[in-house]
Structure 1
Amino acid sequence: MTDRVIRVVAALVTDPTGRQLLVRKRGTDRFMQAGGKPEAGESPRRALVRELAEELGLAVAETALTPIGAFVTAAANEPDHRLEADVYRLSVSAGVADALEPHAEIAELRWCTPAEAALLGDRLAPLAHLLLTA
Structure 2
Amino acid sequence: MNATHTLESVGWLCIRNGRLLVVRSVGRDAFYLPGGKIEPGESHKQALVREVREELTVELAPGHLTPAMLVSAPAHGLDDTELHMHCYTGPGHGEPSPAREIQEMAWVDSHTTDRCAPAVVTVLHKLRAQGQCG
Shift of 1:91: 4.7
Shift of 1:77: 2.0
Percent identity of equivalent pairs:
34
Shift of 1:92: 5.3
Aligned residues: 125
**Structure with more helix by fraction:** 1
Residues 110, 121 of structure 2: 8 Å contact kept: no
Q: In the alignment, residue 84 of structure 1 is paired with which amino acid? A: H
Length-normalised TM-score, structure 1: 0.84
Residues 13, 21 of structure 1: 8 Å contact kept: yes
In the alignment, the residues of structure 1 paired with residue 86 and residue 56 of structure 2 have an alpha-carbon distance, to the nearest angstrom, of 19
Q: In the alignment, residue 79 of structure 2 is paired with which amino acid? A: P
Given the superposition, is the C-alpha separation of residues 47 and 53 from structure 1 closer, same or farther in structure 2, using an over 3 Å criterion?
Answer: same
Tell me the secondary structure at the aligned position of residue 14 of structure 2. Answer: strand
- Tell me what 2:102 maps to: 106
In the alignment, the residues of structure 2 paired with residue 91 and residue 129 of structure 1 have an alpha-carbon distance, to the nearest angstrom, of 22
Shift of 1:126: 0.7
Tell me the secondary structure at the aligned position of residue 90 of structure 2. Answer: strand
Give the 5 Å matches for 1:12-31: 12-15=13-16, 17-31=17-31
Q: Which runs of 5+ in 2 are unaligned?
A: 128-134
Q: Which runs of 5+ in 1 are unaligned?
A: none
Given the superposition, is the C-alpha separation of residues 91 and 130 from structure 1 closer, same or farther in structure 2, using an over 3 Å criterion?
Answer: farther
Q: CA RMSD in A?
A: 1.7
- Tell me what 2:132 maps to: none
- Tell me what 2:54 maps to: 54
In the alignment, the residues of structure 1 paired with residue 104 and residue 90 of structure 2 have an alpha-carbon distance, to the nearest angstrom, of 19
